[in-house]
Amino acid sequence: MGPVSTDRYPHATAHSRHADRANIHMTDTPNENQQSNPSSQQPPRAPVKNWSPLANAMRHDHSDLVTKRGNPIDPADPGNRATRLVTMVLTLIVVTLVIIWQNVPDEWKEKTLLSQPTPKQVQSPALPADGQFGQVDLMGRVFLRGYDLLQSTQVMDQFAVFEGSLSNEDQVRLIMLAGEFEGDAEALDRINELQSTLVNEEVDRSMDELVKNIELSDEDLEKRAEHDLIFEELKALETIYTDGIDALEDEQRAQLSARYGLIGKVALTHGLDDDDPFREPFINNGMKIGIFGLLILIVGVLAPITGFVLLILGIIGFASGKMRMRAHVPTRGGSVFLETYGVFVFGFLVLTVGTFFINARWPDMGLLLLLLQWSLLLFVFWGLVRGMYPANWRKAIGLHCGEGIFKEIGCGIVGYIASIPVYIVGVLVTVVVLVIQEGLSSGNGGEPVQASNPIFDMIANGDIFLVLLLFTLATIWAPLVEEAIFRGALYRHLRGSLHWVLAAFISAVLFAYMHNYGPLLVAPLIALGFMFAVMREWRGSLIAPITAHFMHNFTLMVFMFTLVQLIKDPL
């Protein structure tokens, strides 16, 4: 007798060894009376250790197959062994390329891939210094905008953790901040210290050139030009703290203002009264900064506490068996959702690499390239292209209402709050890694490590149309597309072969490294991706993780936009 058709016998799809591996039970689905009366529910039947498709088809009850945790077991997804093997190999290649591309510094890409790398133009005073809206710049802006509330506090102590590994531009920022919060003498001491450091670096470089007969590289010439520029700025600051701002030349004023933004503009008002019309606009946001900080503090305390309680309750519910898992587990053998993930990653690679080369040649195309990101939405529907019925496809990928759209949204809200402590752990891991990396970098004489958020930088420097586009991408595109791909397609495929914890972790790692935050900043994304996968396993539907993803991105976007409005230059 030939194999039994899986279309005719929907339960006859798994091999007996797969049934043993997944701890499959055949249970009767309780009716409403049984659900209301737990004592009337029949215990699950013992696992079937030796069964066949024919024997399963001949059963009288035809009850659903479920895992030990209660997950319904579906027939194998479309695809066969050959398509699965080919898709796996191609997907591994494309995913590796994307991860490498996303985590390689842009400077390396420019030097390696572009015939004419974009020059940094460090001598142009019209350009902001490197690290604009970096650690020191961001913190300094916040402190200066709250100047009237912070005059008596030890503001400069907040930068102590960074001082061993700062760029020259950030050292200049610290000089200007020290002049405002600690006085002229401290600022002049810092100027002398930085001048000595720069002189020693120039002497070492000249000795290498003369004694070792080493021709200076383009990088060395760039550093020399940067040092010349810093020396000019230190001379201007020395004039401010010895002779006053009136002794500055117009060119020096323009350079400090253009290169250092708000911090430079405050330095150009040094010595004026705080209510002076030239100084007051730069330091008059203390009340707004205070209210914003208070709200962040309240949310930052209440949300983790509430989330920790919900997380513990969830763990207890899962351990006791009261929390039923609803995600459908496919029988091993299909490939259509691995294909979905693979074609999406390939499209993403083409888009990101193309964006890099187009931006290098036509920088004004950035807005259009962001709009093209919406085209990746089409890859979500690959299963339909492969011939799946729409109802079966939606059920498998998780795009259905589960137990009701409002209940699923509510579960997403609760799930996100419970995810906050896990996310905080990821943030702490990243902080520790960055501190270690900065220590190693400074100890070995390497370049300072600058943590940055590309989204924040675009919000800070973009126009209203760019901000709106970023907002819609973060709060609509990302929750829908990323959840459908990573917690829908990828997790669905992995779940057919792996325990849900391992499937959740693998999907979370791949999700994190698809972002271009750098290899040191992915721990929070891994934490979030894992918790989103937990919600998918718990609810079966993608509505809960989509809701949680939306809440996270919406909160961060509102936070960043508000912060930019508070710290941006008023003039």
Question: Which among 18, 8, 4 has a CA at the least distance from the CA of 47?
Answer: 18
- 477, 485 contact by CB (below 8 A): no
Helix/strand/coil for 91: helix
Task: Report helix, strand and coil shares of the chain as percent, to nearest 5.
Answer: 70, 0, 30
Residue type (1 letter), 82: A
Q: Where are the alpha helices (DSSP H) in 444-515?
A: 454-461, 464-472, 491-495, 500-513
Joined together, the tokens standing for residue 59 give 């059963």
What stretches in the chain show pLDDT beneath 70? 1-64, 115-133, 151-153, 163-164, 204-220, 438-454, 462, 571
Q: What is the pLDDT of residue 116?
A: 61
Which DSSP string corresponds to 260-306?
HHHHHHHHTTTTS-TT-TTTGGGS--HHHHHHHHHHHHHHHHHHHHH
Distance from C-alpha of 408 to C-alpha of 422, rounded to nearest angstrom: 21
Look up tokens 């609760």; give the residue. 414
**Element (H or E) spanning 66, and its range?**
strand 65-66
pTM of the predicted model as reported, rounded to 2 decimal places: 0.81
- 567, 137 contact by CB (below 8 A): no
